[in-house]
């Protein structure tokens, strides 16, 4: 039999104003197991906690009930108090007589009655409580960053600076991501490469960082502090450690009509290639779909010209297994396909381009060496139309666009328009917008500068259709403020395409058992208070994989994610939550339902030998819960058809006792 103490808090007048606390304390005195009951003005204060501690010692209490505010507020406080007085912290129950009682009732009598009922329920539960001890698990002091864009780079650098080893896995042959493709960055207009490439070099030179480029994550097992990851290092047919990146092979390669992904197909590369001059690692890669030697066994020129002897046509995909304590997802974004937006004639005309293609066209390392020439005839465009929100805020066409605002387009379009007017003042620039959204430091000032100082013509309205006619693009649009339909003969049309999470994100989320929203953006543990953590323990989010973000925001989030990782890796052991699911193996029928509903992948099945009632031995398949992974959500306990699964601290019997106490 428990010896229970009841402590009713006034919370100043917050509770005592609507609940007669003396009556509550008196009424609960006669409940089974209760040996002591009192009330006090502020139970959470030092004096209040001392009352609890003294009562525990004086009356040899084995469990306590605190009738106070929400357990979210002070459960941890009172558990510590109990532990300090020598009883198990999980022998504490909170009856929430503030949020659920005094704050929602106006009448003293109703409030008091309900407070007594809530108190009785808590007492009934404590009677069935058992001491719980959280388990411990070790922490592997190494982090994995998936994605080598600016988000992954920043996260990796910050973690490495704190002294922990970090591995970056990047699918492309080089790190750098989307930022490496940009020309200038808003709102300061510093060149993207100038600020990004030093960071890429830092990554390459940092002793704590390993880069797995041209690689992907194949398999993830384990749990927070102890992930087992298999990385597939795709064969690049060049020995990475020997290649000096001199580029002699690239020059001599006869296969030179391969669309260049880095310039979004606007020029060509060779079958053996280095994506761009500042690539990290600066190592050549052979495209197996384009190389004659790999396809037909004829050629071998690159091997002949390579003075380092780095070419290896027999190289195979390599699988690397490594243990990690924490995983950061930084898989980034891509612009959506414009193929389905027939009205803008993207597939019909080379001179209708996306904003990312425009970045390459104005980039000094791009296909036109930074001269703004339109792709069809390499002539300088004199009239340029920018269309915003192409596929963004598009609720009607889920198969084409995205319902959300892509956030970055207003600002990069203002940047593009401004830069064109600055470099080529003879160019007429129109921007069609629905709204101009510029919340951010110096953002609105930047947009206004484009209008006021650079003479960019912002038109409130959308473009309805673009028709290629001769060497012109006929643009039909509405000007809602003038209430006119405009017809513009444009030379170049630039579409601000919506952005979407990278396609690799969905299968990765499945491997990580990390949750995603309907748009395939990773979900954060709390939208305001835990923005860089996934609800899955040990998995952190960095950059646009969590939602559309510009560079400053991405970098802030990347550093925030790093600090969370460091906070995890400095620990030698992780203390778990003891309120986890536990199966009754004798009742488990091995149906796997719990395994399927578990959002964290905490449940596995194991064949175990059991002594049967007739004393024979039998092998049965039973559920096993990994307490380090289980988050105590309880989904399995309701899904279990044979009633074998129970949640420690919230056992079925305890819940029923509470309900009985309330209904008595």
**Using CB under 8 A, which of the segments 327-335, 386-394, 557-565, 579-587 binds another protein?**
386-394
Number of residues that bind another protein (CB under 8 A): 22
CA distance 456 to 461: 15
Q: Contact with another protein (CB under 8 A): which of 33, 247, 464, 590?
A: 464
Least distance (Å) between residue 390 CB and another protein: 9
- Taking CB under 8 A as the rule, does residue 434 contact another protein? yes
Non-local CB neighbours of 190 within 8 Å, separated by 6+ positions: 184
Residue 491: CB minimum distance to another protein, A: 20
The yes or no reply on residue 518 touching another protein (CB under 8 A) is no
Choose which of 85, 394, 451, 591 interacts with another protein (CB under 8 A).
Answer: 394
Provide DSSP, 83-101.
HHTTS-GGGEEEEE-IIII
- Site for another protein contains 246 (CB under 8 A): no
Q: CA of 31: how far to CAs of 3, 36, 79, 102, 122, in Å?
A: 11, 10, 22, 22, 11
Least distance (Å) from another protein to the CB of residue 116? 48
By the 8 A CB rule, do 295 and 211 touch?
no
Residues 222, 439: Cα–Cα separation, whole Å: 41
CB closer to another protein, 28 vs 387: 387
Binding of residue 266 to another protein (CB under 8 A): no
Q: Residue from 23, 77, 88, 476 that binds another protein (CB under 8 A)?
A: 476
Stretch that binds another protein, among 120-128, 392-400, 586-594, 601-609 (CB under 8 A): 392-400
Q: What share of the chain is helix, strand, coil (3-state, %, to 5)?
A: 30, 25, 45
CB of 193 to another protein, least distance (A): 34
Is 469 among the residues that bind another protein (CB under 8 A)?
A: no
465 binds another protein (CB under 8 A): yes
Residue 399 is a binding residue for another protein (CB under 8 A) = no
**Residue 605: how many CB atoms within 10 A of its CB?**
15
Residue 548 in the binding site for another protein (CB under 8 A):
no
Nearer to another protein, 479 or 489 (CB): 479
Question: Cα 524 to chain center, whole Å?
Answer: 6
Task: Label residue 548 left, alpha or beta by phi (over 0 means left) and psi (-120 to 50 means alpha).
Answer: beta
Of the candidates 389, 539, 568, 628, which one interacts with another protein according to CB under 8 A? Answer: 389
292 to each of 254, 300, 552, how far by Cα in Å? 9, 8, 43
Asked if the bond preceding 281 is cis, omega within 30° of 0, the reply is yes
Q: Is 82 in the site for another protein (CB under 8 A)?
A: no
Neighbours of 100 (CB within 10 A): 15
Closer to another protein at the Cβ: 342 or 422? 342
Residue 351, token pair as written in the block: 């001179």
CB of 455 to another protein, least distance (A): 23
The answer to the question of residue 401 lying near another protein (CB under 8 A) is: yes
194 vs 397, beta carbon nearer another protein = 397
Residues 6+ apart with CB under 8 A from 656: none
The residue with tokens 């020309």 is: 183
CB of 434 to another protein, least distance (A): 4
477 is an interface residue for another protein by CB under 8 A: yes
Q: Is 480 in the site for another protein (CB under 8 A)?
A: yes
Token pair, residue 399, equals: 């198969």
Instruction: Note whether 409 binds another protein by CB under 8 A.
Output: no
Interface residue with another protein among 1, 369, 395, 611 (CB under 8 A) is 395
User: Of these, 165, 332, 375, 461, which contacts another protein (CB under 8 A)?
Assistant: 461
Q: CB of residue 483 vs another protein: minimum separation in angstroms?
A: 7
Please give the C-alpha separations between residue 377 and each of 369, 371, 372, 416, 438, in angstroms, as whole numbers.
15, 13, 12, 21, 35
Is 108 one of the binding residues for another protein (CB under 8 A)? no
**Stretch of 231-239, 389-397, 441-449, 579-587 contacting another protein, by CB under 8 A:** 389-397
Q: Which is nearer to another protein, 88 or 478 (CB)?
A: 478
46 binds another protein (CB under 8 A): no
> Which residue matches tokens 């990554």?
203
Task: Residue 597: name the closest of 647, 635, 643, 646 by CA.
Answer: 635
Residue nearer to another protein on the CB measure, 518 or 616: 518
CB of 480 to another protein, least distance (A): 4
d(CA 245, CA 234): 18
Which of 364/397 has CB closer to another protein?
A: 397
On whether the CB atoms of residues 306 and 249 are closer than 8 A, the answer is yes
Q: Does 457 bind another protein (CB under 8 A)?
A: no
Least distance in Å: CB of 471 to another protein? 23
Residue 337 sits in the site that holds another protein (CB under 8 A): no
Told to check if 15 binds another protein by CB under 8 A, we report no
Question: Residues 6 or more apart from 304 whose CB is under 8 A from it?
Answer: none
> Taking a C-beta distance cutoff of 8 angstroms, is the pair 286, 271 a contact?
yes
Shortest gap between Cβ of 342 and another protein (angstroms)? 9
Give the integer Cα–Cα distance in Å for 171 and 244: 21
Q: Does 485 bind another protein (CB under 8 A)?
A: yes
**Cα–Cα distance measured from residue 364 to residue 371, given in angstroms and rounded to the nearest whole number:** 8
Q: What is the DSSP string of 450-468?
A: HHHTT--EEEES-EEEEEE
The string over 73-82, giving b where at least 16 C-beta atoms fall within 10 Å of a residue's C-beta and e elsewhere, is ebbebbbebb
**Minimum gap (Å) between residue 496 Cβ and another protein:** 13
Of the two residues 480 and 618, which places its CB atom closer to another protein in the complex?
480
**Does residue 449 bind another protein (CB under 8 A)?**
no
Give the distance, in angstroms, between the CA of residue 635 and the centroid of all CA atoms in the same chain.
Answer: 23
The rounded distance, in Å, linking the Cα atoms of 628 and 401 is 40
Is 463 one of the binding residues for another protein (CB under 8 A)? yes
Query: If binding is defined by CB under 8 A, does position 523 make contact with another protein?
Result: no
| Nearest distance in Å: CB 433, another protein | 9
In the complex with another protein, the residue whose CB is nearer, 205 or 483, is: 483
- Asked if 478 touches another protein (CB under 8 A), the answer is yes
Contact between 483 and another protein (CB under 8 A)?
Answer: yes
Phi/psi for 291 (5° steps) reads -75, 125
Q: Which stretch binds another protein (CB under 8 A): 6-14, 102-110, 230-238, 455-463?
A: 455-463
Q: Work out which of 382, 393, 448, 472 binds another protein, going by CB under 8 A.
A: 393
Binding of residue 148 to another protein (CB under 8 A): no
User: Could you please report the per-residue DSSP string of 273-331?
Assistant: E-SSTT-SS---EE-TTT-HHHHHS---HHHHH-TT--B-TT---EEEEEEESEEEE--
Binding residues (CB under 8 A) for another protein: these are: 343, 389, 393-397, 401, 434, 460-465, 476-480, 483, 485
């Amino acid at each position: 039999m428990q010896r229970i103490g009841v402590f009713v808090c006034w919370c100043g007048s917050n509770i005592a104003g609507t609940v007669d606390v003396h009556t509550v304390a008196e009424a609960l005195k006669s409940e089974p197991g209760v040996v002591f009951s009192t009330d006090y003005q502020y139970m959470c204060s030092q004096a209040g906690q001392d009352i609890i501690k003294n009562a525990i010692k004086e009356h040899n209490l084995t469990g306590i009930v605190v009738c106070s505010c929400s357990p979210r507020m002070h459960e941890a406080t009172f558990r510590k108090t109990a532990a300090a007085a020598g009883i198990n912290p999980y022998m504490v129950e909170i009856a929430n007589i503030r949020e659920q009682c005094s704050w929602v009732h106006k009448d003293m009598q109703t409030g008091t009655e309900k407070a007594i009922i809530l108190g009785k329920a808590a007492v009934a539960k404590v009677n069935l409580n058992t001491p719980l001890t959280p388990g411990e698990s070790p922490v592997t002091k190494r982090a994995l960053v998936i994605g080598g864009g600016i988000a992954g780079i920043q996260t990796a650098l910050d973690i490495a600076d704190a002294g922990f080893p970090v591995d970056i896995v990047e699918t492309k042959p080089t790190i750098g991501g989307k930022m490496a493709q940009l020309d200038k960055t808003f709102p300061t207009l510093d060149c993207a490469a100038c600020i990004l490439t030093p960071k890429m070099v830092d990554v390459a030179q940092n002793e704590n960082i390993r880069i797995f480029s041209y690689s992907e994550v194949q398999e993830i097992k384990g749990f927070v502090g102890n992930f087992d990851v298999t990385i597939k290092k795709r064969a690049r047919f060049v020995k990475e450690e020997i290649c000096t990146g001199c580029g002699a092979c690239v020059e001599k390669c006869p296969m030179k009509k391969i669309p260049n992904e880095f310039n979004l197909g606007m020029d060509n590369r060779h079958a053996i290639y280095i994506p761009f001059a500042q690539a990290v690692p600066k190592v050549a890669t052979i495209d197996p779909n384009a190389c004659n030697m790999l396809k037909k066994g004829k050629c071998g020129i690159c091997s002949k010209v390579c003075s380092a002897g780095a070419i290896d046509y027999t190289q195979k995909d390599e699988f690397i297994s490594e243990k990690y304590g924490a995983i950061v997802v930084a898989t980034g974004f891509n612009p959506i396909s414009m193929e389905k937006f027939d009205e803008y004639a993207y597939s019909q005309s080379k001179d209708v381009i996306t904003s990312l293609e425009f970045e390459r066209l104005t980039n000094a390392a791009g296909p036109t060496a930074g001269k703004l020439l339109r792709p069809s005839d390499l002539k300088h465009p004199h009239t340029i139309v920018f269309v915003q929100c192409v596929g963004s805020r598009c609720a009607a066409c889920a198969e084409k666009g995205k319902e959300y605002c892509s956030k970055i387009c207003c600002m990069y379009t203002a940047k593009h328009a401004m830069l064109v007017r600055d470099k080529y003042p003879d160019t007429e620039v129109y921007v069609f917008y629905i709204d101009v959204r510029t919340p951010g430091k110096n953002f609105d000032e930047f947009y206004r500068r484009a209008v006021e100082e650079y003479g960019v013509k912002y038109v409130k309205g959308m473009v309805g259709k673009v028709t290629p006619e001769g060497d012109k693009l006929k643009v039909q649009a509405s000007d809602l403020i003038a209430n006119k339909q405009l017809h513009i003969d444009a030379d170049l049309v630039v579409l601000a395409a919506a952005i979407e999470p990278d396609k690799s994100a969905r299968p990765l989320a499945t491997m990580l058992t990390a949750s995603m929203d309907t748009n395939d953006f990773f979900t954060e543990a709390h939208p305001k208070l835990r923005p860089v953590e996934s609800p899955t323990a040990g998995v952190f989010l960095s950059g646009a994989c969590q939602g559309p973000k510009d560079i400053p925001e991405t970098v802030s989030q990347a550093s925030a994610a790093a600090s969370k990782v460091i906070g995890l890796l400095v620990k030698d052991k992780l203390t778990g939550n003891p309120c986890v699911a536990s199966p009754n193996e004798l009742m488990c029928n091995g149906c796997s339902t719990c395994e399927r509903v578990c959002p964290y992948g905490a449940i596995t099945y194991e064949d175990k030998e059991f002594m049967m009632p007739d004393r024979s031995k039998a092998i049965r398949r039973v559920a096993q819960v990994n307490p380090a992974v289980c988050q105590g959500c309880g989904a399995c306990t309701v899904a279990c058809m044979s009633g074998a699964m129970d949640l420690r601290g919230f056992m079925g019997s305890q819940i029923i006792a509470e309900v009985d106490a309330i209904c008595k």
